[in-house]
Amino acid sequence: MSKLNIMVVDDEKNICELLRLYLEKEDFDVTIVNNGSDAISLIRQNQPSLVLLDIMMPVIDGWEVCRQVREFSNVPIIMLTAKGETFDKVMGLELGADDYIVKPFDTKEVVARVKAVLRRSSSADTEGEVRYDKLIVNIVKYELCVDGKVIDTPPKELELLYHLAKNPNRVYTRDQLLDEVWGFEYFGDSRTVDVHIKRLREKLEGVSDQWSLKTVWGVGYKFEVKTP
């Protein structure tokens, strides 16, 4: 099973290395970033499991990073800052942060907060969202996010993709997909599935080499995910 990746975004290198030490002891992978601009690019590219985000940084501050990231990702964010005023906490949470820790902090408390936010996030993901490299399918919001951009997608296309992606590498026949996505009341042509798959491929083709919509000739379709 692959490790969860925690991105630490802070221009204070000593703090970064201290957090790396404690997080790696807990079996997390850790990515260190020292400015806000790089953080936005890397979050867009790599979709970490959680971001520890300092507010006072060069180039782009943490508030702006949080605001921009929330335009394309629901990755959990914990704000780190020396500021402790209520206004700063409220602003961070209103921008979409999941938690807020004031410096100086106890490193063990940071690790505990990380685990708590990840547990909440994991629970939320099972309630209607699947994530892969450069892909987020949210069935609650009816939102498809591809390579950091929200793509307009008809509801039935999104339901079909969610169903396949939630069950990676499982092969479905067209009739199974009609039953499970369209419902038993649907009596149309099974080629309806082919049309929806074709439209989804137009949106997803070439986005990632880690997953793809595959045709299993003579059977049906699957959402194929490469295993390490």
**How many CA atoms, within 13 angstroms, populate the side-chain half-sphere of residue 119?**
6
**pLDDT average, residue stretch 120-130:** 66
pLDDT at 21: 95
Q: Where are the domains of the chain?
A: 5-125, 130-225
pLDDT of residue 126: 54
Chain segment 110-119, per-residue pLDDT in tens: 999 899 888 7
Tokens linked to 80: 């780190």
The pLDDT confidence band at residue 70, using thresholds 50, 70 and 90, is confident
Work out the average pLDDT over 128-133.
88
Mean pLDDT for 67-74 is: 84
Confidence at residue 83, expressed as pLDDT on a 0 to 100 scale: 66
130-225 and 5-125 share a CATH fold: no
Mean pLDDT of 132-143: 89
Fold classification of 130-225 (topology level): Arc Repressor Mutant, subunit A (1.10.10)
pLDDT digits (tens, 9 = 90+) for 21-40: 999 999 999 999 999 999 99
- pLDDT, one tens digit per residue, over 46-64 is 889 999 999 888 889 999 9
Write the DSSP string, 40-105: HHHHHHH--SEEEEESS-SSS-HHHHHHHHTTT----EEEEES---HHHHHHHHHTT-SEEEESS-
- Using the predicted structure, report yes or no on whether residue 145 has a pLDDT greater than 90: yes
| pTM score | 0.56
Going by pLDDT thresholds of 50, 70 and 90, the confidence category of residue 8 is very high
- pLDDT tens by residue, 77-91: 998 887 666 566 667
At residue 103 the predicted structure's pLDDT band, cuts being 50, 70 and 90, is confident
Q: How confident is the model at residue 149 (pLDDT cuts 50, 70, 90)?
A: very high
Q: Identity (one letter) of the amino acid at 188?
A: G
CATH for 5-125 is 3.40.50.2300
154-163 CB contacts, 8 Å cutoff, 24+ apart: 154/199, 156/181, 156/182, 156/196, 157/196, 157/199, 157/200, 160/193, 160/196, 160/197, 160/200, 161/137, 161/200, 161/213, 161/223, 162/130, 162/137
pLDDT tens digits along 155-212: 889 989 999 998 889 999 998 888 888 764 455 567 888 999 999 999 998 999 999 9
Nearest partner of 2 among 132, 148, 136, 169, judged by Cα: 132
Q: Which residues of 68-79 are buried (b: 16+ CB within 10 A; e: fewer)?
A: bbeebbbbbbbb
pLDDT at 89: 64
d(CA 122, CA 104): 28
Tokens representing 174 are 């067209």
